[in-house]
Homo-oligomer: A and B are copies of this chain.
């Protein structure tokens, strides 16, 4: 897949996901709640998770209608986590995706409710009414819900955030740092891949290989995040740079140093590529391969 081909592939899917978010996140939810939800999820973000869903689904020639719902659901979970994470009692951040954060714009109470409603909406999107369920049979609705709930919950993202909170100012070793990031960021990225794969049919070995790919990409994402936090300006990131070291949080850079962190990201990319090759799906995994590269090479 050439850079031009990937660009076209990516633009096509981003447009579809954006239209679906636009259609499914309600402007008319009561008392401005819908406006806060839309502000938190529309018009921003790299949409890496939706692209992983789409690419994994295509690798297995799965149902694109099902994958679109999975993509929207996982992006809603990601976006809600940012809304809550930015609040004063958590990271107290005022800038996200280059805009004021949701609680700055709408107040803390509305931001908390908007995040709560975005999480519920993710599961609404995965379980459409029966007449609306083309391409998404009940067994797939249940599978996608199960994957997403487990990656978002206490054993996944929320658990990782709890470790993050508890680790401020503490020295974590690499195993503890990896465990935190596998939960906090990795679980949802890996779930994106597995949800996309669930929209098609994968043998057990292929499914395991895609899980390894997702785990490697998930961890690489966080290693690169830690690198960018110290090497980039806030304007480039669209969020406040340098906040990890300001908050005295352990990171891959503070633990390994910048050069070793970069080498680690490259190793994880190679693990991701190896996992894809082991599926023997050939060019069907080309978009997944490019996405692994993008995660490691990104500058924001």
Contact = CB atoms under 8 A, between A and B. Distances in A.
Given A89-B109, A138-B141, A162-B30, A119 B117 contact: no
A129 B146 contact: yes
B163 A30 contact: yes
Interface stretch (A12-20, A120-128, A225-233, A276-284): A120-128
A1 interface: no
Given A89-B108, A154-B30, A154-B34, A145 B162 contact: no
A112 interface: yes
Contact of A145 (B31, B123, B159): B123
A183 interface: yes
Contact of A142 (B31, B142, B149): B142
A129 B108 CA distance: 36
A116 B29 contact: no
Nearest to A160: B30
A45 interface: no
Contacts of A70: none
Contacts of A87: 89, 112
Copies of this chain in its oligomeric complex: 2
Nearest to A77: B120
Interface in A91-124: 107-110, 112-113, 115-117, 119-121, 123-124
B30 A113 contact: no
A146 B127 contact: yes
Given A112-B89, A141-B138, A117 B159 contact: yes
Q: Which of A31, A87, A127, A160 has the most CB of B within 10 A?
A: A127
A110 to B, nearest CB: 7
A260 interface: no
Interface in A169-226: 183
Interface string A7-48: 000000000000000000010011111100100000000000
Interface of A: 26, 29-34, 37, 80-81, 84, 87, 89-90, 107-110, 112-113, 115-117, 119-121, 123-124, 126-129, 138-139, 141-143, 145-146, 148-150, 152-156, 158-163, 165-167, 183
Given A89-B108, A112-B112, A113-B165, 11 more contacts: A29-B162, A30-B160, A30-B162, A30-B163, A33-B154, A37-B154, A90-B109, A120-B150, A121-B153, A124-B149, A138-B139
**What are the 6 tightest A-B residue pairs by CB atom distance, in nearest-first order?**
A120-B153, A89-B108, A127-B146, A29-B154, A117-B158, A33-B162
10 contacts: A31-B159, A31-B162, A32-B166, A33-B159, A113-B161, A116-B158, A119-B119, A123-B148, A138-B142, A145-B145
